[in-house]
């Protein structure tokens, strides 16, 4: 584990997050499955990390009731509502600062809203490539450079980052996916907030 990941993990703990560090994506998946209690309902945000880990399939095999709009796109409003009222909400973060702040950008808002208010517990899996040396500005920069272009491209959006591979916010039109930015400095009051930090890069 490098110095940046060690420091970010320490700072997350100081900020009140429940943190587990692992080496590989497989270990991150096993850790997540061990922390999600039997019978818990699970809401899931749009996340390539969660998809890459195959967590939804693994949870369904264990008998969990899972609400994920990626597998039920035709029922999005119902799924979003049920996900927001689940026992635990599963997602990643778009970036993590050295100081232990989780930064997320959202176009629809269901993901960031559910990570802030609703489920009693939030569980995020974060690959170490998402940790930035700097603060919130660096985190937003990382998201717009490394996360938005492949996401916008995957979704077929008509944005500068999808077409040219880099952000041009001034000329980003109706398809803009950077509509809300959240910075979580500490778990919200009464919330259990778990962060699994993996050395291996997961998602983007
Ligand atoms: S503001 Fe627009 S161009 Fe920039 S990263 Fe976000 S979606 Fe892409």
Distance between CA 185 and CA 47 in Å, rounded? 21
pLDDT tens per residue across span 97-145: 999 999 999 999 999 999 999 999 999 999 999 999 999 999 999 999 9
CATH of the domain spanning 3-94+103-132+191-198, picked from 3.40.50, 1.10.357, 1.10.540, 3.20.20: 3.40.50
Q: What is the mean pLDDT of residues 47-72?
A: 93
> Which amino acid residue places its CA nearest to atom 3 of ligand 1?
167
Side-by-side strand order, sheet with 88-91: 18-22, 192-198, 121-127, 88-91, 42-44, 66-68
Q: Is pLDDT at 57 greater than 90 in this prediction?
A: yes
N-to-C CA span, the chain = 19
Q: Is the CB of residue 159 below 6 angstroms from any atom belonging to ligand 1?
A: yes
pLDDT tens per residue across span 170-181: 999 999 999 999
Q: Is pLDDT at 1 greater than 90 in this prediction?
A: no
Q: Is the CB of residue 119 below 6 angstroms from any atom belonging to ligand 1?
A: no
Q: Is the CB of residue 139 below 6 angstroms from any atom belonging to ligand 1?
A: no
Ligand 1 centroid–CA 159 distance in Å is 6
Ligand 1 atom closest to residue 166's alpha carbon, by position in its atom list = 3
Q: What is the pLDDT of residue 70?
A: 83
Percentage, residues of the chain above pLDDT 70:
100
pLDDT tens per residue across span 121-130: 999 999 999 9
């Amino acid at each position: 584990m490098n110095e940046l990941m060690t420091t970010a993990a320490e700072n997350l703990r100081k900020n009140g997050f429940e943190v587990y560090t692992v080496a590989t994506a497989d270990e991150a998946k096993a850790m997540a499955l061990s922390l999600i209690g039997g019978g818990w309902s699970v809401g899931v945000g749009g996340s390539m990390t969660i998809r890459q880990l195959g967590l939804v399939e693994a949870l369904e095999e264990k008998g969990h009731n899972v609400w994920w709009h990626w597998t039920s796109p035709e029922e999005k409003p119902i799924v979003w509502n049920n996900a927001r009222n689940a026992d635990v909400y599963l997602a990643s973060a778009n970036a993590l600062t050295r100081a232990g702040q989780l930064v997320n950008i959202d176009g629809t808002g269901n993901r960031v809203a559910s990570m802030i208010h609703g489920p009693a517990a939030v569980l995020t899996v974060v690959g170490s490539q998402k940790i930035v040396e700097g603060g919130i500005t660096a985190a937003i920069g990382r998201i717009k450079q490394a996360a938005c272009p492949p996401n916008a491209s995957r979704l077929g959006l008509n944005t500068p980052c999808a077409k040219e591979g880099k952000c041009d916010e001034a000329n980003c039109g109706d398809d803009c996916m950077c509509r809300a930015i959240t910075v979580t400095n500490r778990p919200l009051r009464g919330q259990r907030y778990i962060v699994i930090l993996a050395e291996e890069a997961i998602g983007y």
